[in-house]
Amino acid sequence: MTTLPLGETTPFSDSPKEECGLMGVYAPGKDVAQMCLFGLLSLQHRGQEAAGISVSTGKQIDYEKGTGMISNVFANERLSNLKGINALGHTRYSTTGGTSTRNIQPYVIETAHGPLALAHNGNITNADKLRDELLAKGVGLTSFSDSEVLLMMIAGAKGNTWAERIKNTMPKWEGAFSLVFQSRTGLYAVRDPWGFRPLSIGYFPDWGYAVASETCALNTLGCIKIREVLPGEIVVMNYEGVNKAPGMKAKKKTAFCTFEHVYFSRADSEWDGQSINSVRERMGAELAREAPVEADLVIAVPSSAIPAAIGYAKESRIVYSSGLTKNNYVGRTFIQPTDELRQLGIRLKFNALPYNLEGERVILVDDSIVRGNTSKALVKLIRDSGAKEVHVRVSSPPIISPCFMGVDMGTYDELIAHRLEVDEIRQYIGADSLHYITLDGMMKAINSKTTYCNACFTRDYPIDVQAFSSSKFKSQS
């Protein structure tokens, strides 16, 4: 095997940072904490910096939290003391800020109506204003987290039930929020009226319910009758069953996140009622129709680009083969402390297979290019392994704008497609050719009647983000 040489670029900083993963289980009589842990492990790809699980005993909410990968946080039987009727879990990638324990979710507080916990995926774009309003009322806050603001607003809201308090507060929130609230007796799944982030519920074959950011986690737990929480919907899971509570009317023009199809969701999940794997294969096939090239084999940047590469190979009738391997056990936090470790991490992350690449004209399929560092390093790695030509194909359009809805894609200056034209990017990464799928081609592959958010490709944001883009407010969701 040929290993990627040491250098200044680092693949770890060159992909959109996963959002966060939410997991909730309501199953009295079951080991809800362990079930929640299994579900969270299926969502590890959505957040790798910290994790937490809270459990309601019916009288109080107990919790365990920690930094690191989920399996490390909950090692040494750390869940053995968490027994109850429902559980709430969260795995986190912070878009900004640190990973101190106070920022790790679920957030748990005591209120006049009993204990309440929250797990949040998304960004609230008017959080500055909402925070100032809370402070003016004398409400104490411990951080600049928008998630904490949501929790404190619900704690002080009007209403006779938690569902009513959520309903009365939702219209004040702008931006992306998929939420799960936990009370002593139940769970409350909430999704913003734009539908930015995924959230689904499922039923256990015997008795009980679960809610998760992705259907793969619900399938892992053996759930049946899985469905998405609708935009603006509030779903209550308690001893009365699963019931829909009054929420908000869905926006006429929804804003589902396209990047769930492109990159974030696991291939065995469903989003907007469609198989993620199938959509990615269709993206690859459409890319092959838009940007054909004479070559000997198609390879993928592992692992989220594999379905697109397979789709490209099928459509172009060029052999699909393995060209790169990826060490999935090198976590992002492992390589962060020093430059020396980051450089060592490059060699740990990717290896090439010279016996498949030597003397070949190679098509390298990736799902996105953010800063360009990974692409540059991988093209060089493939050339050093003996490839005659390297043609790069990308199954999403050029990313020209940051996301303010809960995805860390970097700033305008960090986005290579914001600064350079496509041929300039080709020269920078050292490819013989470079083509991105068109926006129309990507949406044709998604093939949905739902309206999607493509702001990172178009600068056309579905809500006003001007104030948030210059805000000091930091999302911890």
Point out the residues that are catalytic: 20
Q: How far is CA 426 from the centre of its chain?
A: 28
Cβ atoms of 372 and 428 within 8 Å: the answer is yes
The angle subtended at Cα 167 by Cα 40 and Cα 137, nearest 5°, is 95
For residue 210, what are the β-bridge partners? 25, 202
Q: Would you state the structure tokens that stand for residue 466, as one six-digit string? A: 């001007």
Residue 367: closest CA among 436, 416, 430: 436
